[in-house]
Amino acid sequence: MADAVELEAAGRKVRLSSPGKVFFPERGFTKRDLAEYYIAVGPGILRALRNRPTTLERYPDGVTGESFFQKRAPKNMPDWIPTAHITFPSGRSADEMCPTEVAAVVWAAQYGTLTFHPWPVRRDDVDRPDELRIDLDPQPGTDYGDAVRAAHELREVLHEYGDLRGFPKTSGGRGLHVFVPIEPRWTFTQVRRAAIAVGRELERRMPEQVTTAWWKEERGEKIFVDYNQTARDRTIASAYSVRPRPHAPVSAPLTWDEVPDAVPRDFDLATMPARFAQLGDVHADMDEHAYSLEALLELASRDEHDHGLGDLPYPPEYPKMPGEPKRVQPSRARNKKENGPTTP
């Protein structure tokens, strides 16, 4: 095993130590394979990450080893990689790396970063998202085909409420993500409200197939629209990110024509470079669009006024938010009501 090699990434050399270290034993992929993959899809991964505060999902010893999420920019990060100062729901803050060139992605791969989790903001305005991200998450008993059916109805909803264009991609697992580029005019709270409105509209149209229920015990065998992925500091794996599974799948951008017949497992560290060489980044024009959320926010207001549908629960680590319902599991609430308070 060579001690180190230098790889060139879009004109900048990046040192890679232990390039032969195996990161995916099932497939035999090494650290060098990972780094060269990110060079091969460089324009695509950079389009997804450029100027975005990015959390690194690191596996220093490969996919079978220990892992952690690194939110704060590493102390040894080169000075040519810029950062952005972001604030977490807790009130704490940190400087996160913001890739502006492919070499930054390769540098992160050197330290075992498999998956990149960018915020839906740019470093020049970290409080106003420029993407509405819809996560279609298959629950037990459902699969990618169920997510596809929900995605096609989602496409219609987006078209009807603001003539929005969504950009679909595989999650790297069984699910689908649909990103909508938006004007950076709204807060995280407002963008989350728009995501809830989208989910509820999908739920009305596909009540047996789609749910917005936050509590798992209420979801059933449906596609969960995870609206909380739009909350501050909640992120979704970027397009082209390698996912930490034994066969090294990647989150693959798709055209809408490809969505029905795509097989998520077919997109991996070995196959995506050839696809990219042939097709390029099928979401390359995403940054050329910036849509309005006004129609979806009006839908949210009508839901609240006409149907009494207000906010939905936040994740447990968030402070209590104004207008949020009780953050308690329904079965526990029922048991407490039926049995009464416990006495010491």
Residue 326: predicted pLDDT: 85
Q: Do residues 106 and 7 make contact, with C-beta atoms less than 8 angstroms apart? A: yes
Amino acid identity, position 92: R
Count of alpha carbons within 13 angstroms of residue 344, beta-carbon side: 0
pLDDT, one tens digit for every residue, the chain (344 residues): 458 999 999 999 999 999 999 999 999 999 999 999 999 999 999 999 999 999 999 999 999 999 999 999 999 999 999 999 999 999 999 999 999 999 999 999 999 999 999 999 999 999 999 999 999 999 999 999 999 999 999 999 999 999 999 999 999 999 999 999 999 999 999 999 999 999 999 999 999 999 999 999 999 999 999 999 999 999 999 999 999 999 999 999 999 999 999 999 999 999 999 999 999 999 999 999 999 999 999 999 999 999 999 999 999 989 998 888 988 888 876 665 555 554 43
**For the purposes of burial, counting CB atoms within 10 Å of the CB of 327, is it exposed (0-12), middle (13-18) or buried (19 or more)?**
middle
Q: Which tokens belong to 281?
A: 């980044």
Residue 344: predicted pLDDT: 39
Tell me the three-class secondary structure of 195-207, residue by residue.
HHHHHHHHHHHCC
> Distance between CA 98 and CA 105 in Å, rounded?
10
Task: Name the helix (H) or strand (E) containing 303.
Answer: helix 294-307
Other C-beta atoms closer than 10 Å to the C-beta of 337 total 9
